[in-house]
Amino acid sequence: MTRIPEYDDVIRSVCLTLAAGLALTGAAAAQDDIGTPYVQAFCVLSSAEDGMGRLYLSSPGLTEAIMKAVAENERLQATAPDEKPPLGDGIPWQSFPDAAPVCEAGATTADGDRLIAQVQYRFPDQPDGDWIDRLVLVKGADGAYTIDDVLYGEDGEESLRGVLAEAFAE
């Protein structure tokens, strides 16, 4: 395909105009439209790269917190190889370690300048085992959303950032 440099600015303007128009349509639908693909990617990446694939979706701040915790975990494991370190089961990306057969997007709501997207974990054969966590999505400098935290359970009193901080608070 041949590019015509004179048209680059025109195409860029058209794309920006379309993006701005989409951003201004239906707030609730737009929120779900924004949150759903992030949750879908979050679900798909659960087993990628030994559980670290979700870092591709994480904000710089959350990535830094995770990498700091991983480094501390490795240090503890090296000093006491016979003991299970705090992150011995991996990064706690969800409130329960069980791998649910169904992981899907729920509703997305606005909370100030961030979006809260539900991640619904389901066990079709045991509905009592279902649970919901929530992704905290923040917009980066480039305009793309990233995951800045994972709120565990319905009340969200516990979170990924909180668990990481508590694991190495000694």
List the domain range (segments joined by +) for residue 104: 26-167
Residue at 104 is within a domain: yes
Check if the beta carbon of residue 34 is closer than 8 Å to that of residue 108: yes
In a domain, 17, yes or no: no
- Mean pLDDT value across residues 54-82: 96
Confidence grade of residue 74 (pLDDT, cut at 50, 70, 90):
very high
84, pLDDT greater than 50: yes
User: 68 or 33: whose pLDDT is higher?
Assistant: 68
Q: Give me the pLDDT at residue 9, please.
A: 56
100-156 residue pLDDT tens: 999 999 999 999 999 999 999 999 999 899 999 999 999 998 999 999 999 998 888
CATH number, domain at 75?
3.10.450
Confidence of residue 2 (pLDDT cuts 50, 70, 90): very low
**Candidate ranges 3-12, 47-56, 66-75; pick with highest mean pLDDT:** 66-75
Whether residue 61 lies inside any domain: the answer is: yes
Give the SS3 label for residue 114. strand
What is the count of structural domains for the chain? 1
Residue 47: band (very low, low, confident or very high) from pLDDT cuts 50, 70, 90:
confident
Global pTM exceeds 0.85: no
Does residue 42 sit within a domain? Answer: yes
Residue 108 lies in a domain: yes
